[in-house]
């Protein structure tokens, strides 16, 4: 034991560095759910953003109602509503799916759907802000050379908006990873749910939840590294044209000539 706190350092070290296989599986579920839900959330979020900016009033109204609901209610409430509310109404939408050797439970489907739809509400505002930040002349120029709105968005607008989207997108991925801890409420054994199950068997609450915190820190730290790499990639064409920087570059230009 560890002082009066009733801690077990040996248990903590063993489960941190050599956990049972169920912990590794829970970690894998956390990563997979985060990746799939985030990808779907980005796709739906883009569609909602385009609907919000549409010239059709019906689409704008639908987008506003979507944002009003998904941004105005807690994620935990949304998760319970989608998983149990639909089943309670007599419409069971989540039969288990078999994808090769992997069985995707109804609870997992409901979890991915909820996280994706919730994330889409926030990503739509990120997309809308990024697109609105692009100079309106870019739209006019693409139209003048005969590009359709879809082609202009694909080749002109979105590549420029990507630099603005990357920082908040990285933050949203980090939030998504942490949000998966709520899935234990509907019985999904992701990382936190798995450690909760171990806690029920071992009663080592502090040690196991400290391990959970460390694993989430590792995942979000890795995401932070990827975020910085992506930001650097999309900012590689930016130049600082201040006089001091131009003077520093001048000798390099002369040598190349």
Q: Which residues contact 134 (CB under 8 A, 6 or more apart)?
A: 157, 160, 161
pLDDT of residue 93: 59
What's the whole-model pTM score?
0.83
Q: Which domains does the chain have, with CATH numbers?
A: 21-256 (1.10.3720.10)
Q: Which of 181, 184, 37 is nearest to 109 (CA)?
A: 37
Q: Which residues of the chain have pLDDT under 50?
A: 1-3, 239-257
Query: What distances in angstroms separate CA 1 from CA 5, 162, 221, one per listed residue?
Result: 8, 52, 31
pLDDT of residue 122: 97
* Residue 180 and residue 33 in contact, taking contact as beta carbons nearer than 8 Å: yes
Could you read off the pLDDT of 134-143 as tens digits, one per residue?
888 887 888 8
| pLDDT for 242 | 45
Residue-level pLDDT at 112: 93
Q: Residue 107's pLDDT is what?
A: 85
Q: What is the pLDDT of residue 94?
A: 59
Q: What pLDDT, on the 0 to 100 scale, is given for residue 158?
A: 87
């Amino acid at each position: 034991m560890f002082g009066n706190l009733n801690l077990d350092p040996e248990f903590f070290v063993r489960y941190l560095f050599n956990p049972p296989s169920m912990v590794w599986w829970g970690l894998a579920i956390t990563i997979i759910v985060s990746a799939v839900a985030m990808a779907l959330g980005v796709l739906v979020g883009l569609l909602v953003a385009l609907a919000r900016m549409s010239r059709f009033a019906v689409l704008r109204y639908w987008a506003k109602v979507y944002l009003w609901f998904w941004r105005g209610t807690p994620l935990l409430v949304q998760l319970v509503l989608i998983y149990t509310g639909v089943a309670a109404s007599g419409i069971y939408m989540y039969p288990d799916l078999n994808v090769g050797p992997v069985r995707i439970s109804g609870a997992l489907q409901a979890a991915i759907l909820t996280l994706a739809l919730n994330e889409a509400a926030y990503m739509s505002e990120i997309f809308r802000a990024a697109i609105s930040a692009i100079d309106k002349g870019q739209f006019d120029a693409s139209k003048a050379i005969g590009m359709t709105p879809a082609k202009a968005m694909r080749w002109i607008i979105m590549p420029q908006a990507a630099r603005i989207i990357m920082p908040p997108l990285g933050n949203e991925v980090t939030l998504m990873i942490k949000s998966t801890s709520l899935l234990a409420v509907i019985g999904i054994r992701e990382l936190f749910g798995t450690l909760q199950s171990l806690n029920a068997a071992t009663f080592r609450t502090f040690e196991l939840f400290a391990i959970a915190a460390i694993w989430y820190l590792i995942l979000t730290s890795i995401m932070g590294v990827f975020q910085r790499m992506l930001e650097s990639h999309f900012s590689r064409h930016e130049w600082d044209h201040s006089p001091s920087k131009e003077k520093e570059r001048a000798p390099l230009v002369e040598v190349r000539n």
